[in-house]
Each structure stands twice: as C-alpha cells, then as structure tokens.
Amino acid sequence: MTSLTLATANAIIEGAFARGAELGLKPLGVSVLDAGGHLVAFQRQDGASFLRPQMSAGKAYGALSIGAGSRRLEAFAKERPHLMAGVSDVSGGRIVAVAGGVLILNRDGEIVGAVGISGDTSDNDEAAAVAGIEAAGFAADGG
C-alpha cells in the first residue's frame, strides 16, 4: 500500500537524529509520510513540545501537496499569502508552510514520500531532514 517501507522510514529518522546530535540541535519531532500523505513513522525526542507531531507532519504534508519542498511553500506564502492560506484551508488545516519539509526521491526522481522536522530553527530542521534522507540512500528536495 506504500512503496516507502517502514524500514526506510526508521532509517531516515535515525539519520536525522544523528545529524541533530552532531549539530547540537534542540529536541526534534520527525514525521515520515508516504506519497499519499499518510504517516509511516514518527518519533519525538525527549523534551520536544507536544505539538511537534502535527508541526512536523504539516511541513511534510504541505511539501507533498504541492510537489515541492516546504522551503518553496514558504516562499509562496510570502509572495502570495492567500495561495498558501487557501491550500491549507482545503487540506483541512494540515499544512505548515515553513522550511523543514523535504521530499524523498528515489533513483528515478519519483516522489516516494516526505520528511518533516520541527524542533530547532527551520534551517536546522531542514538540514537534519536532508541528512536523514541521504543516510537512507535516497535523494532530498527541500525546495
């Protein structure tokens, strides 16, 4: 039902946490969604806020809904706020248009899912997501 396996999702989270530790980031929440926008795995590090599940998933969901990393969504939101507001509305309020939602691409460049991270700055969240995706052997598109 998903071409993004649980094993891959767990490897991505492990890689993201490893990069977070290297960079000394704050506690992170990491969501891995399949290409249909559904959660495959989530982990929240000790001390991270209770809303990290929704915030991290919201970045990944937004990336998938537009087909671009959420950094691009953040640019859209600044240029045309009504665009992202409308997309979030019709999604049922499931989108966070901020960097840190990164597409997971296979060797053929196809989107197989997305990672969303929330916990530190948006730039650092995105860096950890990219590291996790690459550690699992996939290509990353942060937008």
Instruction: Write out the residues near a second copy by the rule CB under 8 A.
Output: 1-2, 5-6, 9-10, 34-51, 53-55, 57-58, 62, 64-67, 74, 77-78, 80-98, 110-111
Give yes or no for a contact between 105 and 142, defined as CB atoms under 8 angstroms apart: no
Query: Least distance in Å: CB of 131 to a second copy?
Result: 19
Sign of CA dihedral 32, 36, 39, 40: negative
Query: Least distance in Å: CB of 100 to a second copy?
Result: 11
Bridge partners of residue 118, in order along the sequence: 29
Query: Least distance in Å: CB of 47 to a second copy?
Result: 6
Count Cβ neighbours within 10 Å for each residue of 17-42 and write b for 16 or more, e otherwise.
bebbeeeebeebbbbbbbbebeebbb
Nearest residue (CB) to a second copy, 91 versus 135: 91
Nearest residue (CB) to a second copy, 46 versus 107: 46
Nearest residue (CB) to a second copy, 43 versus 124: 43
d(CA 3, CA 35): 8
Please give the backbone phi and psi of residue 133, each rounded to the nearest 5 degrees, phi first. Answer: -65, -45
Nearest residue (CB) to a second copy, 112 versus 135: 112
Query: Least distance in Å: CB of 8 to a second copy?
Result: 10
Nearest residue (CB) to a second copy, 100 versus 131: 100
DSSP state of 70: H
Query: Least distance in Å: CB of 83 to a second copy?
Result: 5
